[in-house]
Chain A
Amino acid sequence: MTTATTAHDELHAGAAPPPHGWRRLLAPGWLRVPWMSALFFGIGLGITLLVRWAEGWHPIWDGQVITTIELVAVPFGFLAGIGGFDYWTRYAIGSPTQPEDHSGHGAYSWRDYFRINTDHKVIGVQYVVTTIFFFVAAGLLAMIMRAELARPGMQFVGNQVFNELFSVHAALMIFLFIIPAFAGLGNYVIPLMIGAPDMAFPRLNALSFWLLPVAGLLMLSSFFVPGFGCGWTGYAPLCSTHQELGAVFFNMGVQWAGASSIMTALNFLVTIITMRAPGMTFWRLPLLVWANFTTSLLVVIATPFIAGSQFMTMFDHIMHTNFFNYEAHGYVLGYQHIFWFYSHPAVYIMMLPGFGIASEVISTFARKPIFGYRLMALSLMAILVLGFSVWAHHMFVSGMAPWLRVPMMVTSVVIAVPTGIKVFSWLATLWEGKLNFSTPMLFALGFVSMFVIGGLSGIYLAAVPIDIHVSDTYFVVAHIHYVLFGGSLFTIFAGIYYWFPKMTGRMYDERLGKLHFWLTFIGFNATFFPMHYLGIQGMPRRVSDYAPRFADLNFFISIASFFLGASTLVFLYNMIVSWARGAPAPANPWRAHTLEWQVSSPPPVFNFDEIPQVVGGPYEYGVPGARHAVFNGDRVIEEEEVNV
């Protein structure tokens, strides 16, 4: 453990002395949060009551309306309290600008992780740790579901609670785990990889993180009001006019998570476009940066559609509007179109960064350049474009216009082409490479194989006749878990293990890592593979009970899922203990070429003392004389020995 640094002391020499006594309640931070949240609560309440009284809308005190307003007001209070808006408020009222003393930047103690921090590395760690927390929470919900499903009949929970379980499970996994986990890993790695000292908008970055706990809290609290049991897809009219207040918690939670996602994507795009190191052309970007670039474009363009759809459901629910009310000339199916127009690109948002991570890991641990680098980048762009053309394949059995089905089938099948290019590229990268089967590599290889299985079941589902048969059955559950667990989650694990030394300055325990992989791989396949068969046999999804003929397989799956759940404990233990007591990590334990490995582990607080100059591609392993970047002009950086 390193001691306090002199540079840190210098940094704060010129800063104002920290406040004392009651003034601490005014300083940004957790002391300010309670009273500011209460203040905003009061303002929200006051405005609502005032407007309702002035307009004569009775009852003036409407619990549902007030709750909805407060779900906006109180989070703003929280964010204001913790200091997310301080700088901008000072700017807006025209106060004299204070010179930046970087006191809000960097982590010098554990406390720095629990406050607004502008350092992208700190934010990245905050993201990853928070998302793992929600991953565990959502996983526990799944365990309860599997406990209920182990035997026919109802043993532990009632129907409504079961419905709430699968709804919140998915909402947490999608909006509070996979999407932000990739955002967090990207946040940490991207500025380092492109040779930038930080993101383009560090304060916006800090704010975007703190929206996550807000969103997560909203989703989890939905259990304590009458919850939402209509599935994360939230179809109108079931999830609008026919749901309890919990549905509003879901609507709002999605908005906060979506806002966080869009802010991060904005930041990524501007950073990647405007802050690359000299010589780093777009065709020299590491594929992780390419992947996050395309994902961010997807986020910026698509996420507002889910925001819109959730606004509409919420308005139908609380304000009794008629977006999806057939009798009032609304268009019921409109919800599904608008919702899926985001939610299909959402699955690419949940996978493309993983593709980037897989490329990084496979290239490094095969000691070979990525095969077909340019086509890998172009296929990402192709998936981006095509991803907007396939949304109605989620609606084949919805009763939508029949003529739309075949075009959607065609586009859904076509999107397998760029994805296939990527899979074959990874395989070709591995071919005759010098493979090192460390934990990140195991997860990357597991990802490639499991994602292919998930992709194949996806092709099956893209075919309308098959989809009609297996829609809303466990076949779909199998597909989504193969691509999201075997796909996204495996790459998240790969990324966490891969960058763990860089982020924490310590090595994780390799044996425990391998154990985690194998337990997960076996448990995952045992849990989800049989679901393909269950689905084809006709077991519906989102049910708390089932026909007796499905009993044996369900029992097997439940036992396997507990095994899978237990494997996560190995991961958690490894992460916590290694972070606290692991062996100190060298700057470049994997001998990779990309820029983040050319600085210490963990990196200096401002990443680079001097911006590197990029003079070649990032994957030139085994190419004699090739360098990715140089520091200090014509002095070549010290390569960690050897020709590969």
Chain B
Amino acid sequence: MSAHAETQHAAHPPVAHQSSRVDARTLGMFLFIASEVMLFGSFFTAYFFIRVVNHQPWPPHPFHLPVFVAFVNTAILVTSSFTMHWSLQSIKRGNRVGLQAGLTLTLLMGLTFLLTQLLEYARIGFTPHDQAFGTIFFSLTGLHGAHVLVGLTILAAMTTRAYRGHFSPEAHNGVEIGGIYWHFVDVMWIIVFTTVYVL
């Protein structure tokens, strides 16, 4: 049973009209990031309830947070945003080496961040079952870590493609859009770090 009429119709789709100056894929990534921000929002809401509404000192006794290590980790992640941006600028100017180096460095720094985070989890001295504080600490940082993992997957794909000769000054959407996601991961970390570790 055919779902399409007898065709003397085109064998290829007509080119859709672009009704907005915004690139579709960039817009899609932005909306996806909006939904991810809201997901973090739900966990920040829980954080708000646990810390503010329950009037808890932060961190509550007897927990301690490794603020300095986290700060160094923050610096690493911020630097990785810089290298990400650098790699995109490179390919826009046709500098393939810059593209590959930038992506590789970003990937390595992201991995360092994640591994450091995991190490800290092992050494931090409390678990997610230790009161609501433990729960919200591990879930906020853990949720962020999951997003770092997704970001690293995207970075790995971009790096692979970069080394296999894809991307050019005219066609580098993959780097651009992946870069936006990575910057989102960075921004989210700054917010998580500030609220959980610092404030």
Instruction: Specify which of B7, B20, B139 is in contact with A5 (CB 8 Å cutoff).
Output: B7
The CA of A107 and the CA of B11, in the complex, are separated in Å by: 14
Say if the beta carbon of A300 comes within 8 Å of chain B: yes
Cβ contacts under 8 Å, B9 to chain A:
7, 604-606, 609
The CA of A506 and the CA of B131, in the complex, are separated in Å by: 62
B50 adjacent to A319 (CB under 8 Å):
no
Cβ contacts under 8 Å, B136 to chain A:
323
Of residues 8 through 38 on chain B, the ones whose CB sits less than 8 Å from some CB of chain A are 8-20, 22-24, 27-28, 31-32, 34-36, 38
B49 adjacent to A7 (CB under 8 Å):
no
Among the stretches B52-60, B92-100, B109-117, B179-187, the one at the interface with A is B52-60
The CA of A328 and the CA of B134, in the complex, are separated in Å by: 10
Of residues 322 through 375 on chain A, the ones whose CB sits less than 8 Å from some CB of chain B are 322-323, 325, 328-331, 333-334, 337-338, 341
With A274-B24, A307-B39, A604-B4: A93-B160 Cβ-Cβ less than 8 Å: yes
Instruction: Specify which of A94, A109, A262, A305 is in contact with B166 (CB 8 Å cutoff).
Output: A94
B128 adjacent to A305 (CB under 8 Å):
no
The CA of A560 and the CA of B27, in the complex, are separated in Å by: 49
The CA of A275 and the CA of B11, in the complex, are separated in Å by: 20
Cβ contacts under 8 Å, A273 to chain B:
19-20, 22, 27
Encoded as 1 (CB less than 8 Å from any B CB) or 0, chain A from 120 to 161 comes to: 011001000000000000000000000000000000000000
| Given A195-B17, A305-B41, A307-B39, 14 other A-B residues pairs in contact with their CB atoms under 8 A | A7-B10, A11-B11, A94-B165, A197-B13, A270-B24, A274-B19, A305-B38, A323-B50, A323-B132, A328-B130, A329-B133, A505-B5, A609-B9, A611-B17
Of residues 43 through 80 on chain B, the ones whose CB sits less than 8 Å from some CB of chain A are 43, 45-46, 49-50, 53-54, 56, 60
Interface residues on A, range: 35 or more
Instruction: Specify which of A276, A338, A341 is in contact with B17 (CB 8 Å cutoff).
Output: A276
The CA of A331 and the CA of B174, in the complex, are separated in Å by: 42
With A5-B4, A303-B35: A334-B22 Cβ-Cβ less than 8 Å: no
In the assembled complex, 8 residue pairs joining A and B whose CB atoms fall closer than 8 Å, in A order, are A5-B2, A94-B157, A94-B160, A122-B3, A277-B19, A322-B134, A329-B60, A606-B14
Which residues on B are within 8 Å of A, measured CB to CB?
A: 1-20, 22-24, 27-28, 31-32, 34-36, 38-39, 41-43, 45-46, 49-50, 53-54, 56, 60, 128-136, 138-139, 153, 156-157, 160-161, 163-166, 174
Instruction: Specify which of A278, A338, A603 is in contact with B45 (CB 8 Å cutoff).
Output: A338
Cβ contacts under 8 Å, B35 to chain A:
262, 266, 300-301, 303-304
B38 adjacent to A304 (CB under 8 Å):
yes
Instruction: Specify which of A10, A274, A305 is in contact with B18 (CB 8 Å cutoff).
Output: A274
The CA of A273 and the CA of B132, in the complex, are separated in Å by: 42
Among the stretches A28-36, A308-316, A510-518, the one at the interface with B is A308-316
A1 adjacent to B2 (CB under 8 Å):
yes
Q: How many A-B residue pairs have CB under 8 A?
A: 231
Cβ contacts under 8 Å, B163 to chain A:
94
A602 adjacent to B17 (CB under 8 Å):
no
With A93-B157, A307-B42: A315-B54 Cβ-Cβ less than 8 Å: no
A325 adjacent to B132 (CB under 8 Å):
yes
- Across the interface, name the chain B residue whose C-beta is closest to A401: B53
Say if the beta carbon of A53 comes within 8 Å of chain B: no
Say if the beta carbon of A200 comes within 8 Å of chain B: yes
Instruction: Specify which of B2, B31, B50, B156 is in contact with A330 (CB 8 Å cutoff).
Output: B50
Q: Which 5 A-B pairs have the closest CB atoms?
A: A308-B42, A92-B157, A94-B164, A331-B49, A304-B39
Cβ contacts under 8 Å, B13 to chain A:
102, 197-198, 606-607
Which residues on A are within 8 Å of B, measured CB to CB?
A: 1-8, 10-11, 91-94, 102, 106-110, 112, 121-122, 125, 195-198, 200-201, 262, 266-267, 269-270, 273-278, 280, 300-305, 307-309, 311-312, 315, 319-323, 325, 328-331, 333-334, 337-338, 341, 504-505, 580, 600-611
Cβ contacts under 8 Å, B166 to chain A:
94
Instruction: Specify which of A7, A8, A274, A321 is in contact with B128 (CB 8 Å cutoff).
Output: A321
Cβ contacts under 8 Å, A201 to chain B:
24, 28
Cβ contacts under 8 Å, B49 to chain A:
331, 333-334, 337
- Which of the listed residues B12, B60, B174 has the most CB atoms from chain A within 10 Å of its own CB? B12
Cβ contacts under 8 Å, B1 to chain A:
1, 109-110, 580
- A309 CB to nearest B CB, Å: 7
The CA of A378 and the CA of B38, in the complex, are separated in Å by: 24
The CA of A165 and the CA of B174, in the complex, are separated in Å by: 47
Cβ contacts under 8 Å, B15 to chain A:
197, 611
A604 adjacent to B5 (CB under 8 Å):
yes
Cβ contacts under 8 Å, B129 to chain A:
319-322
- B2 CB to nearest A CB, Å: 5
Cβ contacts under 8 Å, A333 to chain B:
49
- Across the interface, name the chain A residue whose C-beta is closest to B153: A92
B19 adjacent to A302 (CB under 8 Å):
no
Cβ contacts under 8 Å, B3 to chain A:
106-108, 112, 121-122, 125, 504-505, 602
With A5-B4, A10-B11: A308-B43 Cβ-Cβ less than 8 Å: yes
Instruction: Specify which of A110, A302, A338, A600 is in contact with B46 (CB 8 Å cutoff).
Output: A338
B164 adjacent to A315 (CB under 8 Å):
no
Instruction: Specify which of B4, B32, B54, B174 is in contact with A605 (CB 8 Å cutoff).
Output: B4
Instruction: Specify which of B7, B160, B164 is in contact with A7 (CB 8 Å cutoff).
Output: B7
Cβ contacts under 8 Å, A277 to chain B:
17, 19
With A102-B12, A200-B24: A5-B6 Cβ-Cβ less than 8 Å: yes
The CA of A552 and the CA of B1, in the complex, are separated in Å by: 50
Cβ contacts under 8 Å, A197 to chain B:
13-16
- Across the interface, name the chain B residue whose C-beta is closest to A269: B31
The CA of A195 and the CA of B13, in the complex, are separated in Å by: 12
B19 adjacent to A266 (CB under 8 Å):
no
Cβ contacts under 8 Å, B132 to chain A:
322-323, 325, 328-331
- B144 CB to nearest A CB, Å: 14
